[in-house]
Amino acid sequence: MAQTLLKVSGVKVAYGGIQAVKGIDFEVREGELVSLIGSNGAGKTTTMKAITGTLPFIGGDIEFLGKSIKGRGAWDLVGEGLVMVPEGRGVFTRMTITENLQIGAYIRKDKAEIAKDIERVFSTFPRLKERATQLAGTMSGGEQQMLAMGRALMARPKVLLLDEPSMGLSPIMVDKIFEVVKQVYDQGVTVLLVEQNASRALQLADRGYVMESGLITMSGDAKVMLSDPKVRAAYLGE
């Protein structure tokens, strides 16, 4: 069985007295694409922030590569290979596409390899290559999403966390983003995908978890979940 890279055990997160995440357990194993689905407000983004150290958790533990990461900051975890593409993309709007990619590699010192990785990102996202010197703030939402993913790949993640990559994009761009997620996964990157588009997320994933009101209410093989009547009724509009 593949090694568990990320393990979330009994994690609880509170926002000003309101418990947004109420003690959840899940894991991501090496080489997997795991999808965390659920409606808006279920606690998915809060969970991602707790994993990456941008939001403290009040109970339970999170292990990355077999060690607890409780109390550690995002800047620290990126260096170990835990990298997130945040909801809303968060690109540096006044920098060029190339500069954004270089920032993704800020923890690295291997200049020749960084240059190769920029070319690799450009081959994955040809649209970015065409606009390499353009300011990120002048790009469309879909292009910014590609840039945010490319920037994260520059850190050479062991686990790539994607928080709602298709949110707010046109149907054509949603197709493109899911194509790219699959491409990244096929290149051997382990992925945890948080997504409201449950159907697309489960089609791509190996395993899935359903989150409702701060709890994990279902988990299993993604293809089995895709045909589950409860999942179909709640998330696929059937």
Tens of pLDDT along 70-114?
989 888 899 899 999 988 778 999 999 999 999 999 988 999 999
- pLDDT at 66 > cutoff 90: yes
- pLDDT per position as a tens digit, 138-176: 998 889 999 999 999 999 999 999 999 998 888 988 998
Mean pLDDT taken over the chain: 92
Q: Could you read off the pLDDT of 8-39 as tens digits, one per residue?
A: 999 999 988 889 999 999 999 999 999 999 88
The answer to whether residue 203 scores a pLDDT higher than 70 is: yes
Q: Which residue has the higher pLDDT, 225 or 230?
A: 225
Question: Per-residue pLDDT for 196 more than 90?
Answer: no
Mean pLDDT, residues 179-189: 92
Spell out the domains of the chain, with CATH numbers in brackets: 4-235 (3.40.50.300)
As a whole number of Å, the end-to-end CA separation of the chain is: 35
Mean pLDDT of 133-137: 95
pTM of the prediction? 0.92
Q: What are phi and psi of 155, to 5 degrees?
A: -85, 0
Q: What is the pLDDT of residue 238?
A: 54
Which of left, alpha, beta for 23 (phi over 0: left; psi -120 to 50: alpha)?
A: left
Give me the pLDDT at residue 104, please. Answer: 93
pLDDT bucket at 181, cuts 50 / 70 / 90:
very high
Per-residue confidence (pLDDT) for residue 128, from 0 to 100: 94
Of all residues in the chain, the percent with pLDDT exceeding 90 is: 71
Per cent of the chain over pLDDT 70 is: 99
